[in-house]
Amino acid sequence: MAGYLARRLAFIVLVLVAVSILVFGITSLLPANVAYLILGPFAPPEQVRALELRLGLNDPIWEQYGRWASGILRGDLGESMLMNRPIAPLLWEAIVRSLTLTVTSFILIAVIGVTLGVIAALQHGRPLDHTVSVATYLGIAVPEFFWAIVVILVFAAWLGWLPSAGYEPLSAGFWVWAQHIIAPVMTLVFGHLAHVSRLTRSSMIEVMQSPYVTAARAKGLPERVVVIRHALRNALLPTITVLALDFGRLMGGIVVVETVFAYPGLGRLLVFSIQNRDLPTLQAAILVVAAIYAIANFAADLLYVWLNPKIRYGRGVA
């Protein structure tokens, strides 16, 4: 187990190093003069040269990368070009807010998705099954930004239950804080429910037809025990992998959802840094997202191994 863990961790580090090179490479190599981007197209040349010197933009690219990467290893993410503030605290606040959204949505997706999947499987072929299928299908077919707008239309404009956008810290009171969380979470949950519920449904249908479920029933166990203790446990294995992927998709989903709801998290920081050509912030933010994504996948793999005694220590998993 220790060897497997070490290999997986080493691979995560490797992926992050590669991502950092990729991110740095793309942002540096694309035809754009950073100094001009910051100062605007009509900046006097001497001012541009001074800024280039200060930012070390004329050094070879690997030196720039080395400076940036060693800074990150020391915990120094650099300064935001636009806001002239260190990036780390800025990013940290955004991460906490975004994780609030994604983790809440993730838990709801897991619970609601599995429940819907089980219900659909038990009602296999009946109207309720079809209803669940159609509803969750709509969830994936419609882009998140459209759901976000529908949520605003219904809950903010028509019903007036929720604020249409913005963020309030927890210190402003729990309900005020929660009100601003509900709409984006609803959007994320609805947009991502389908994968979990569809997969749970199909693996549940398969498991319910297997001999050991018949045996459990033959023993005279109550149906609830058969479904939850016997069938669901096995049916959940593939679901866990999909849940991990969903966490990654949620990290992508926050970009759009936070923009629509003007929620000051990681996604909005990313879009803001792109719109304002704030490359250091952009690089740091993407690296953080990749790290969260990689760790989520790692956690899912561990959970999978832990739950499934058949593939202990996953030999040969790269």
Partner 1 sequence: MAAASPDGLAASPLAVDDPTPAAVPRRPVPLQLKAGLVIVVTIVLLGLLAPWIAPHPWDTISMRTRFLPPSATYWLGTDEYGRDVLSRLLMGTRLSLAMGVSATFVSLAFGVPIGLAAGYFRGRIDEVLMRSADVLMAIPPIMLGLLVLAVTPPSLWKTAVAVGFVYIPPIARVTRSVTLALANEDFIQAARARAESASYILFREILPNAWPPLIVEASLRVTYAILLGSALSFLGLGAQPPSSDWGLMISEARSFIDRAPWIALAPGFAMCLLVIGINLVGDGARERLDPRLKSRVGKG
Q: Interface with partner 1 by CB under 8 A: which residues?
A: 15-16, 18-19, 22-23, 26-27, 30-32, 37, 137-138, 140-146, 149-150, 152-153, 156-157, 194-195, 198-199, 202-203, 206, 242, 245, 248-249, 251-253, 255-256, 259-260, 270-271, 274-275, 277, 279, 282, 286, 289-290, 293-294
One DSSP character per residue, 3-27 reads HHHHHHHHHHHHHHHHHHHHHHHHH
Quote the least distance from Cβ 182 to partner 1, whole Å: 18
Question: Which residue in 105, 99, 119, 97 sits closest to 191, CA to CA?
Answer: 105
Between 184 and 253, whose beta carbon lies closer to partner 1? 253
Quote the least distance from Cβ 64 to partner 1, whole Å: 15
Question: Which residue in 241, 151, 168 sits closest to 199, CA to CA?
Answer: 241
- How far apart are the C-alpha atoms of 70 and 58, rounded to whole Å? 18
Burial class of residue 164, CB neighbours in 10 A (0-12, 13-18, 19+): middle
Cβ within 8 Å of residue 243, ≥6 positions away: 106, 109, 110, 196, 300
Between 26 and 172, whose beta carbon lies closer to partner 1? 26
Quote the least distance from Cβ 146 to partner 1, whole Å: 4
Between 58 and 225, whose beta carbon lies closer to partner 1? 58
Between 176 and 295, whose beta carbon lies closer to partner 1? 295
Q: How many CB atoms lie within 10 A of CB 317?
A: 12
Between 83 and 221, whose beta carbon lies closer to partner 1? 83
Between 42 and 174, whose beta carbon lies closer to partner 1? 42
| CA distances from residue 67 to 23, 73, 80, 211, 243 in whole angstroms, order as listed | 15, 10, 16, 61, 37
Quote the least distance from Cβ 278 to partner 1, whole Å: 10
Quote the least distance from Cβ 292 to partner 1, whole Å: 10
Query: Is 213:264 a contact under the CB 8 Å cutoff?
Result: no
For residue 33, give the DSSP letter: -
Report the DSSP beta bridge partners of residue 86.
79
Q: What are phi and psi of 86, to 5 degrees?
A: -60, 145
- How far apart are the C-alpha atoms of 314 and 91, rounded to whole Å? 35
Between 119 and 221, whose beta carbon lies closer to partner 1? 119
Quote the least distance from Cβ 303 to partner 1, whole Å: 18
